[in-house]
Copies of this chain bind each other. A is one copy, B any other.
Amino acid sequence: MKIGIIGGGSIGLLTASLLVKQGCAVTIYVRREEQKARINQNGILLLPDDTYFINAKLTSELNNEDIFIITTKQYQLTGLLSTLKKTKAPLLFMQNGMGHIDDIKSIEFNQTILVATCEHGAMKIDDKTVKHTGKGKLNLSLFQGNASLYNDVAKLLAGEDFPINLAPDWYEILAKKLIVNVVINPLTSIFRVKNGSLTENPHIEAIAKQTCMEASSVLGLDPEEEWANVRRVIRLTKNNESSMYLDTKRNRETEIEAISGYLLNHANGEVPFIQFAYHAIKSIERLERRDLVDD
């Protein structure tokens, strides 16, 4: 079964090398010619010292594959989805947030669609080098389509380095992860702190908890249960800098639209803390770019 992985970011590189390691046939699709060339020449280096030779192509050169695993950011899906619809292959989406769910629904795919939340920690060092910073599992769920295909894919992907958890309810795993993300990502970026500070500092914790309450209410989950889950993830990742914090530090576009933006779009009542943080991140994105121009 030929696997196409779309996206050459940290999760794309990590997934590609872990699947090759356990014997899968993998092609990785990237946006830039330069990254394609480097991977084809040197393979992917999974630190400290495992190199995996993997066929790399441009996203514009999509082959027939038996399944596509889409690891790009949600804001990079535009344009890609209609191409994927034409392939008729099953698709596995691994984006943060839930913005991609709206995107997927708007396309009306006919093929089997899986979604997953990824608990692996990964850091991209350069175009062909990735560090596996935290072992986790992939929570895999059927969004629509063929249930036996879903089981086949799970068996195909599962391995010692790539454990799979079959999650019966796609909405629940994405919603729970979204709540974690809407608390941790914007707040660590605004306050420029590691994850652990969110509960070590009682004033940030007050903001974090209120944000969790608002998000749980939008998504219809139990606020206290989700707050316990958010606190657990904060404890487990207390020494990490969140992906959004790293993005704002490095003046890169953030995933704020897929995370806070999704909740603002789907809120029926008032969600002022999510709204404040949303505007704060959007303004930081603009300020950082202004700084770049000024420099």
Contacts and interface: CB of A to CB of B under 8 A. Distances in A.
Contact of A207 (B197, B201, B206, B276): B276
A282 interface: yes
A280 interface: yes
Contacts of A280: 190-191, 203-204, 207
Interface in A10-51: none
A284 interface: yes
Contacts of A277: 276
Interface string A246-276: 0000000000000000000000001011011
A7 B197 CA distance: 36
A201 B283 contact: yes
Which DSSP category, helix, strand, loop or mixed, fits chain A's interface?
Answer: helix
- Number of this chain's copies in the assembly equals 2
Contacts of A287: 191, 193, 197, 201
A94 to B, nearest CB: 28
Contact of A286 (B201, B275, B279): B201
Contacts of A191: 280, 283-284, 287
A203 B279 contact: yes
Interface in A187-223: 190-191, 193, 197, 201-204, 206-207, 210
B272 A206 contact: no
A197 B207 CA distance: 24
A98 to B, nearest CB: 22
B279 A207 contact: yes
Contacts of A201: 283, 286-287
A282 to B, nearest CB: 4
A74 B243 CA distance: 40
Which 5 A-B pairs give the minimum distances between C-beta atoms?
A272-B272, A203-B283, A203-B282, A203-B279, A204-B283
Given A201-B287, A207-B279, A207-B280, 12 more contacts: A190-B280, A191-B280, A197-B287, A201-B286, A203-B286, A206-B279, A210-B275, A210-B276, A270-B270, A270-B272, A276-B276, A276-B277
